[in-house]
Amino acid sequence: MSVVLGATRFCERVRGCDVFSNRNSRGQVRQALTMSKKLLLDVDCGVDDAQAIMLAVAAPGTKIMGITCVHGNTTVENVCKNTLRVLQACDKLEVPVFKGAAKPILGNNINADHFHGEDGLGDAPDPDAPGLDLLQKEDAVSAMIRIVDENPGEISLVATAPLTNLALAVRMDPSLPSKLRALYVMGGNTESRGNATVCGEFNFTADPEAAYIVLNDYDCPTYLACWEFTCYSKLSWEFCDAWLSQDSAKARFMSRIFHHSRAISQSEGFEQVFISGGGLVSCDSYAMAAAVDDSFVVESDRYPVSVELTGTHTRGMMVVDTVGFLKKAHTAFIIRKVDMEKFEQMMMAALK
């Protein structure tokens, strides 16, 4: 069931009741066309989260209402430090940052320090890094609920990390999804290809129960940038060179923190993990780009989705119900194709 998006996608979203908390009027449609995008970001700030945050900061007409931090690529303490470092590089330390869950709902932590470095940002020294005293006192889950409640129908929640904070938030406030404009997630897989286990994508595998709760309890418009799609949509290393060679403090910052991950990405073994050959796979940036620009996604599939919780090899794997066995009314947009020229422009702007 292929859905060609763009103007059609936006019209479909504003025509449906769920985007505006079950309300639909001409005035609200006009408001949606003119108001700035309000984003709430949930991150486990590794290098690709940093790229996505910088993309959002640079996007015109976009306001970041807050960034909530969660375990994942590294410890939640490192995630908080890294998020503040990225905001400092963008001269945006006024964006509030909140500390969230340190562990998954069940089981033990996994991390991606082999790829992102032990600190999550390539172990690049940063003697001028901001301190954790800049964190908000409010916890991430409470902040998520409050910010959405204060801006009903206006917040696009962008999750580029294990979904623990989102799962805890919907358990604390089951009405939360109905107050969102939309949910954008980097996570899951559609071809049973794994990057953390044989069949598991990292963000879902790091907390399968949380992913299950989010895909089943968030009934707002939901857009998924899954692992295989990001690999098929990679950017060339030639683009990467031009991207990093821009004469700006942000480009120099990215070059430092990306050095470790790039070397691994270009190794022979990792090119197999990235599926169709080598290139820059900025996984989290695809979900972020979709959130900031409604015309970015040009084609998607729309199906009910869930998460496998018990399989020996498939725990954490996303389940795509192409037939209707799950008997679910809610369907997610699974992103298939995006405007790659626009993506390159957004990535370049992020480091200007």
Residues with catalytic roles: 44
**Residues 165, 138: contact at Cβ < 8 Å?**
no
Structure tokens at 196: 């953390």
Give the bridge partners for 102, in sequence order: none
Q: ∠ CA 318-226-81 to the nearest 5 degrees?
A: 105
Burial class (CB in 10 A: 0-12, 13-18, 19+), 141: buried
Distances (CA, A) of 138 to 68, 94, 99, 153: 10, 15, 8, 23
DSSP E strands in 117-190: the ranges are 155-159, 180-186
Q: Which residues contact 70 (CB under 8 A, 6 or more apart)?
A: 42, 43, 44, 76, 79, 100, 101, 140, 161, 162, 164, 165
**Residues 286, 225: contact at Cβ < 8 Å?**
yes
Structure tokens at 166: 């989102």
For residue 125, the tally of other CB atoms under 10 A from its CB is 8
Residue 56, by phi and psi: left (phi above 0), alpha (psi -120 to 50) or beta? alpha
CA distance 286 to 288: 5
Give the H/E segment covering residue 284: helix 283-292
| 3-state SS class at 302 | strand
CA distance 82 to 130: 9
**Residues 317, 204: contact at Cβ < 8 Å?**
yes
